[in-house]
Structure 1
């Protein structure tokens, strides 16, 4: 892996391999957790807008056609602390990817009629998420779990805030946050002269003073928190979880191992106990997230409302069972993580995204030490974490079927 910083502050991470494709990701170190209440959803809105035309490419169709005529793929996502845009294309078309991404970033037009059109698209997306309990359960969980931290707000924003966005909101926020000294470009593939190409396409961008986000201390949870919302659904949905630790905390790797013990595929403890042995639910799994300054660990399940209490007790019992973990189960979880990590790294986009993620948090080199940190996790570490975090002060959210 090679790392360079351009004079304007753009950070380049490059890893060469023998693949026939190349993945290019441009990640900005800004996301929904930077937003004030009345601007909730603006980062996600901008993610949409950058594909909607530039001074050189009139609309999203022209951008898409230029990528797809070479068999390429493109997409974007917004998270709490980052907004990313990527293109995956045959390696000899690297310049196409860089030209399009640099044009999108340097020359967005933010036409009023497109802003109004995109507002309607996102309002429909908000309605779709609210209607889809598999997605909506996570909106409710974060809202209930966090009290002060902006992670309590949905990345997509609220209908009220999205409706209020105008061209000035969009342009002001973009040009103050989406700046070269807040940008990581990650390139993975069989390509050469990458530093020179990045300089050619992105070196002209002018740096600005970056906007700092006020650190918000989230209070410890001292009681059970429960939220129930009744809805017309075929089944009920339950999420049970906890606030945990940020990604750079040493205990985050212990949670990764616990996530594998409890939630890997159909052989994890939770799936085995709830579905295989008792048939209480169709869908069951574990969600483990670690960001720059917060973490959350949760078990989720889709089940009939008459089974909610049974499933809850089984989940809590599996957390207590971790306090009796043996070496065999620990090593199986580590082996799963290593295998899964190897398969994911084979994909250029996933690898580019992972390198950009670690660089945005602190240093891309930390990606190389991830498995080393997993291997260090001991039985005693798991027992300690289970006792400290996975206790009787949980947060539980239920979308309960009516009738």
Structure 2
């Protein structure tokens, strides 16, 4: 991997990968965690509205056609920690992909009619998510698990805030965060002359890098249960535990535990809850380790009558991590290694990984992932489980 920094502060990562495909991803170091109360949802909203037109391409259709007519793909997404814009094209169209991305990020018109149109779209998106318990349960978990950390607020934002957003407010947010020193580009593909192409298109004015406040979150002192009833068929259950963000050695042990308990149809949660007892329709675990927060969760979609039994089994399987065997450990490591190596065969997933690791510490850590998984010991697995698997937030979205 090559890493350069332009004179304006922009960081560029290049990973050579043979083949016809190339992806260009631009990460803005801003997400919903950075928003003030009166900005809830602005990172996500801005991601939407930037695609609505530039001086050179004044409509969404013209922007879309530039890439889609080449057989390419482009999109964007927002998380708690970052906003990503990407273009994936055949490598001979690399320069066009770079130019379109630069145009969107630097020359968006932000017309009033575009803003009002996107408000309607985002508000419909909020309604859709809130009406879908598979998504809503996770927002309820974040709100219940965290007391002070801004990850407790959904990325899509607040309805009232979205309704009241002004063009001036959006422009100010864009000017504050969309500066070269707060941006990183990842290129994965086999491209000659990529440095010149980037310099020709991304020499934006330098700007001031925003300062972030350190976020603190109190430790959980007791179990907290949040229950909501909805007009749905299934009941959705989550056990969530605060853990640690990246980079931290305990995250690798948590990855291993996640593989032991939650991998596909061979994880222990699936085996015990669905295969053996038939209690759940959907069951698994999730481990999230971001820059400023982390959590581990066990979840199940069940019939309401199975709630008490499922809770007992989840609690038992979490406790059973203390009985993990060397065979369990090695199987989990092999699974994680295979999953990771298959993932980065895809140029876009590799770019995602590079940007994630660059944000939390350094992109070179991506290639250390498998090594760090291999280093995890049985003792670490048990110690980490004991440290974090206590005082859960239990979320129940109850069906009829």
TM-score range, shorter chain: over 0.9
Q: Does residue 395 of the first structure (1) align with residue 387 of the second (2)?
A: no
**Deviation digits for residues 278-329 of structure 1 (CA, Å, limit 9, x no counterpart):** 0101111111111111101101111111111111111111111111111100
| Residues 247-286 of structure 1: pairs in structure 2 closer than 5 A | 247-286=246-285
Q: Does residue 319 of the first structure (1) align with residue 318 of the second (2)?
A: yes
Partner of 1:222: 221
Tell me, in whole angstroms, the C-alpha distance in 2 between the residues paired with 1:265 and 1:13.
Answer: 32
Secondary structure of 2:51 counterpart:
coil
Partner of 1:157: 157
Tell me, in whole angstroms, the C-alpha distance in 1 between the residues paired with 2:273 and 2:97.
Answer: 46
What are the ranges of 5 or more consecutive residues in structure 1 without an aligned counterpart? none
Partner of 2:119: 119
TM-score, length-normalised on structure 1? Answer: 0.98
Is the Cα–Cα contact under 8 Å of residues 182 and 210 in structure 2 kept in the other structure?
no
Tell me, in whole angstroms, the C-alpha distance in 2 between the residues paired with 1:301 and 1:320.
Answer: 17
Secondary structure of 1:229 counterpart:
strand
Secondary structure of 1:58 counterpart:
coil
**Deviation digits for residues 97-130 of structure 1 (CA, Å, limit 9, x no counterpart):** 1010000011011100110110010000000001
Tell me, in whole angstroms, the C-alpha distance in 1 between the residues paired with 2:59 and 2:289.
Answer: 36
TM-fit CA distance, 1:131: 0.6
Is the Cα–Cα contact under 8 Å of residues 269 and 283 in structure 2 kept in the other structure?
yes
Tell me, in whole angstroms, the C-alpha distance in 2 between the residues paired with 1:246 and 1:124.
Answer: 32
What are the ranges of 5 or more consecutive residues in structure 2 without an aligned counterpart? none
TM-fit CA distance, 1:2: 0.4
Tell me, in whole angstroms, the C-alpha distance in 1 between the residues paired with 2:327 and 2:387.
Answer: 23
Q: Does residue 305 of the first structure (1) align with residue 300 of the second (2)?
A: no
| Residues 350-365 of structure 1: pairs in structure 2 closer than 5 A | 350-365=349-364
Partner of 1:367: 366
Tell me, in whole angstroms, the C-alpha distance in 2 between the residues paired with 1:301 and 1:281.
Answer: 6
Tell me, in whole angstroms, the C-alpha distance in 1 between the residues paired with 2:75 and 2:271.
Answer: 35
**Deviation digits for residues 10-39 of structure 1 (CA, Å, limit 9, x no counterpart):** 100001111110011000111100001111
Total equivalences in the alignment: 400
Tell me, in whole angstroms, the C-alpha distance in 1 between the residues paired with 2:240 and 2:306.
Answer: 18
Tell me, in whole angstroms, the C-alpha distance in 1 between the residues paired with 2:215 and 2:4.
Answer: 32
Is the Cα–Cα contact under 8 Å of residues 215 and 292 in structure 2 kept in the other structure?
no
Secondary structure of 1:113 counterpart:
helix
Partner of 1:342: 341
TM-fit CA distance, 1:385: 0.9
Q: Does residue 35 of the first structure (1) align with residue 68 of the second (2)?
A: no
TM-fit CA distance, 1:213: 2.0
Secondary structure of 2:70 counterpart:
coil
Tell me, in whole angstroms, the C-alpha distance in 2 between the residues paired with 1:181 and 1:142.
Answer: 30
Q: Does residue 169 of the first structure (1) align with residue 156 of the second (2)?
A: no
Runs of at least 4 residues off by over 6 Å? none
Partner of 1:13: 13
Secondary structure of 1:50 counterpart:
helix
Partner of 2:236: 237
TM-fit CA distance, 1:216: 2.1
Secondary structure of 2:130 counterpart:
helix
Secondary structure of 1:123 counterpart:
helix
Tell me, in whole angstroms, the C-alpha distance in 1 between the residues paired with 2:238 and 2:87.
Answer: 34
Tell me, in whole angstroms, the C-alpha distance in 2 between the residues paired with 1:275 and 1:82.
Answer: 36
TM-fit CA distance, 1:52: 0.9
Tell me, in whole angstroms, the C-alpha distance in 1 between the residues paired with 2:301 and 2:93.
Answer: 44
Tell me, in whole angstroms, the C-alpha distance in 2 between the residues paired with 1:312 and 1:97.
Answer: 49
Tell me, in whole angstroms, the C-alpha distance in 2 between the residues paired with 1:199 and 1:379.
Answer: 48
**Deviation digits for residues 148-169 of structure 1 (CA, Å, limit 9, x no counterpart):** 0000000000111111101011
Tell me, in whole angstroms, the C-alpha distance in 1 between the residues paired with 2:41 and 2:176.
Answer: 16
Tell me, in whole angstroms, the C-alpha distance in 2 between the residues paired with 1:16 and 1:171.
Answer: 36
